[in-house]
Amino acid sequence: MTWDLAELREEGLRSLYPGIPRIGVGTSTCGRAAGAGDVYQALVEAGQDRVQVKEVGCAGYCQVEPVVTVHVPGRARVVFHTVCPSMAPAMVSWALGSSGPLDPVAEMESDGLAPGAERRLGRGWGLSPLRDLDFYRGQNRLVMRNCGIIDPSSLPEYVAVGGFASLVMALGRPPEEILEEITASGLRGRGGAGFPTGYKWQATRSVPSEDRYVICNADEGDPGAYMDRGLLESDPFAVLEGLIIAAYVVGAHTTIIYVRAEYPLAVARLESAIESARMAGLTGPSILGTGFGVDIILVKGAGAYVCGEETALIASVEGRPGEPRPRPPFPAQKGLWGRPTVINNVETLANVPAVLAMGKDRFRSFGTEASPGTKVFSLVGDVRNAGLVEVEMGTPLEALMAMGGVDASSVKAVQTGGPSGGVIPGSMLDLPVDYEALARAGSIMGSGGLVVMGHTACMVDVARYFLGFAAQEACGKCTPCREGMARMRGVLDRLVEGSGRPGDLETLEEWALAVKDASLCGLGQNTPNPVLTTLRHFAGEYEAHLEGHCLAGVCRALIRYHIDTARCLACGVCQDECAAGAVLGEEERLIDPDRCIRCGSCKEVCPAEAISIGNGHR
């Protein structure tokens, strides 16, 4: 069955603008974790048929979930955050025009419609626009344009906001023209390496073959990164549209989405979107009657980090152990089942319809000359506003910190690019975030994880954590990565345990450079980065560890808890709390360092803040 896109659009507009108030509840994983499911149910019960209640995706501001948007016909859409089920009746009354005790936080100016499409929002409410909130100030949403606005399970709503218009346009032109547009736009892969997407498509197209494949890499596994999950849960059709356009350009008739099974909501929303697209004739033997056919197959990965590497991913899809292999041949030459294969990241593909809709010149007006467009980052760690932010490439790190609600002086370091990335010190927050600038600083863009660390973080411990993650996730196939990481881990273990030896720092650097140089795949080649960047920017902390001090007061073997007797109220709370029986004394309390297990429980409960961490276990 092929549906008419114009009819779908009308249906979508009726759904988005039902003539009664529309209440959208963000029910992505972040919203659900904060109780959005109960909020949704409460609103359905309170609203009956007087308002329309819809599940929508995540608008990025995960810190303040559950987030609810209310659109009263003829007025601007407004946002409420940290909503709880008990607020549902008041919210429905508010939407129906009765005054109520609720205060929306901001107005959403954009209705998410594509350029040229109809806009039906009306005047505002006199609230601040969303972009005036710290979190949204300076953001530019090309990829996340529909997130938090449309129902991710509704094909008509996606079509109503301009969805699939780029595909229809593409199918009406020769593939070469679309390839030229994507190449000229300068779009680069958002999965880590920043390889130009147009060149990758061209390389795959130009290899003579009966079959070609396009794979969407949705195996996102960096600790602290969830940009792709956010997109898949909030706007899955945008990814499908980009995938089908890629298939058309390279001449592939089978496409695969490789998604980690640990993302059950993303999997469910993808399955639903793939089925809707199939029913609408947007996939299948002849898309919209054009004669070009393509199928989309969903493959669930078991959650191994190394399977995000493209050759390991191909091995996994083929049913073999997920181990990387040497390149060349590159997947573009010899990929899935030995055929030319494009592998693109979720965000790269979600960019494709936007690039075609706005045209290469407009796309290039965002970002920098070498890195056009925007990038979605997951901003986590020591921030007040955690969430997904989308900014132009080249935005300085300090602007991202402001979105996170953190003062630059409170930032000790920012880890970019996950375990393969590096640590940028707080003194370098003017660094523009693009592929080249981050590489010059010894880090990488990676897929977009940004972990912010305050002054209580120990950089040696941070390097040890990321190295430990990578060592656990490495496949063990090649010796430099397997053995080198074990040696590096050994040195870092010694340092945090206070048994570092002279020469350890030199040995650590030598091993890091050797692993980087000699490993087979990107995992081994990049995971020394956290060690090398912390050695470069925080050498003093390493030297202090060698002398038995952890300056940040984190590494247990190197710290002592002290009671300041001048402040102590002798209340005994710490004594009751201490599981190790390490707090001694009646009138004057002190902590026995030999009994103390350095759990910090006493410090947490002390009402007088009389307990502090001191250095020097040895």
Q: Can you give the binding site for ligand FMN, defined by CB under 6 A?
A: 189-193, 195, 200, 217, 219-221, 305-306, 308-310, 343-345, 348, 447, 521-523
Name the pairing type of β-strands 52-56 and 449-453: unpaired
Least separation in angstroms between CB 467 and ligand SF4: 12
Name the pairing type of β-strands 387-392 and 374-381: antiparallel
Least separation in angstroms between CB 519 and ligand FMN: 10
State phi, psi for 158 to the nearest 5 degrees. Answer: -65, -40
Q: Which residue shows structure tokens 């396009």?
A: 214
State phi, psi for 453 to the nearest 5 degrees. Answer: -120, 130
Nearer to ligand SF4, 433 or 478 (CB): 478
Least separation in angstroms between CB 615 and ligand SF4: 19
Residue 520 contact among ligand SF4, ligand FMN, none, beta carbon within 5 to 8 Å by kind = ligand SF4
111/116 Cα distance (integer angstroms): 12
Least separation in angstroms between CB 484 and ligand SF4: 9
Q: Which residue shows structure tokens 């956290």?
A: 530
Nearer to ligand FMN, 214 or 492 (CB): 214
Nearer to ligand SF4, 184 or 570 (CB): 570
Nearer to ligand SF4, 259 or 520 (CB): 520
Nearer to ligand FMN, 387 or 522 (CB): 522
Least separation in angstroms between CB 589 and ligand SF4: 5
Nearer to ligand FMN, 72 or 239 (CB): 239
Nearer to ligand SF4, 113 or 488 (CB): 488
For every residue of 232-260, which 3-state class applies, written as one string?
A: HHHCHHHHHHHHHHHHHHHCCCEEEEEEE
Task: Identify the three-state secondary structure at position 487.
Answer: helix
Nearer to ligand SF4, 145 or 589 (CB): 589
Residue 90 contact among ligand SF4, ligand FMN, none, beta carbon within 5 to 8 Å by kind = none
Residue 192 contact among ligand FMN, ligand SF4, none, beta carbon within 5 to 8 Å by kind = ligand FMN
Longest Cα separation, the chain = 88
Least separation in angstroms between CB 7 and ligand FMN: 33
Please state, in angstroms and as integers, the Cα–Cα distance from residue 60 to each residue in 127, 161, 577, following that order: 20, 19, 39
Residue 367 contact among ligand SF4, ligand FMN, none, beta carbon within 5 to 8 Å by kind = none
Residue 327 contact among ligand FMN, ligand SF4, none, beta carbon within 5 to 8 Å by kind = none
Least separation in angstroms between CB 417 and ligand SF4: 16
Tokens representing 279 are 């029913």
Nearer to ligand FMN, 217 or 533 (CB): 217
For every residue of 102-155, which 3-state class applies, written as one string?
A: CCCCEEECCCCCCCCCCCCCCECCCCCEHHHCCCCCCCCCCCCCCCCCCCCCCH
Residue 193 contact among ligand FMN, ligand SF4, none, beta carbon within 5 to 8 Å by kind = ligand FMN
Tokens representing 89 are 């009746």
Least separation in angstroms between CB 529 and ligand SF4: 13
Residue 481 contact among ligand SF4, ligand FMN, none, beta carbon within 5 to 8 Å by kind = ligand SF4
Tokens representing 414 are 């920012």
Nearer to ligand SF4, 370 or 570 (CB): 570
Residue 278 contact among ligand FMN, ligand SF4, none, beta carbon within 5 to 8 Å by kind = none
Task: Identify the three-state secondary structure at position 55.
Answer: strand
Contact 324, 233 (CB under 8 A): no
Residue 345 contact among ligand SF4, ligand FMN, none, beta carbon within 5 to 8 Å by kind = ligand FMN
Residue 519 contact among ligand SF4, ligand FMN, none, beta carbon within 5 to 8 Å by kind = ligand SF4
Name the pairing type of β-strands 341-345 and 254-260: unpaired
Beta-carbon contacts of 3 under 8 Å, excluding residues fewer than 6 positions away, are 279, 280, 281
Least separation in angstroms between CB 523 and ligand SF4: 4
Please state, in angstroms and as integers, the Cα–Cα distance from residue 529 to each residue in 419, 536, 593, following that order: 8, 10, 36
Residue 573 contact among ligand SF4, ligand FMN, none, beta carbon within 5 to 8 Å by kind = ligand SF4
Give the number of C-alpha atoms closer than 13 A to the C-alpha of residue 300, restricted to the C-beta side.
11
Contact 381, 453 (CB under 8 A): yes
Terminal CA-CA length for the chain: 75
H or E segment at 584?
strand 583-584
Residue 195 contact among ligand SF4, ligand FMN, none, beta carbon within 5 to 8 Å by kind = ligand FMN
176/278 Cα distance (integer angstroms): 26
Please state, in angstroms and as integers, the Cα–Cα distance from residue 404 to each residue in 237, 382, 399, following that order: 29, 9, 9
Least separation in angstroms between CB 219 and ligand SF4: 14
Least separation in angstroms between CB 584 and ligand SF4: 11
Nearer to ligand SF4, 549 or 589 (CB): 589
- Altogether, the residues listed in the chain come to a count of 618
Least separation in angstroms between CB 39 and ligand FMN: 31
Please state, in angstroms and as integers, the Cα–Cα distance from residue 293 to each residue in 251, 258, 270, 337, 414, following that order: 10, 20, 19, 20, 45
- Residues that bind ligand SF4 in the complex, under the rule CB under 6 A: 306, 324, 474-478, 481-482, 519-521, 523-524, 563, 568-574, 589, 606, 608, 610-611
Nearer to ligand FMN, 305 or 538 (CB): 305
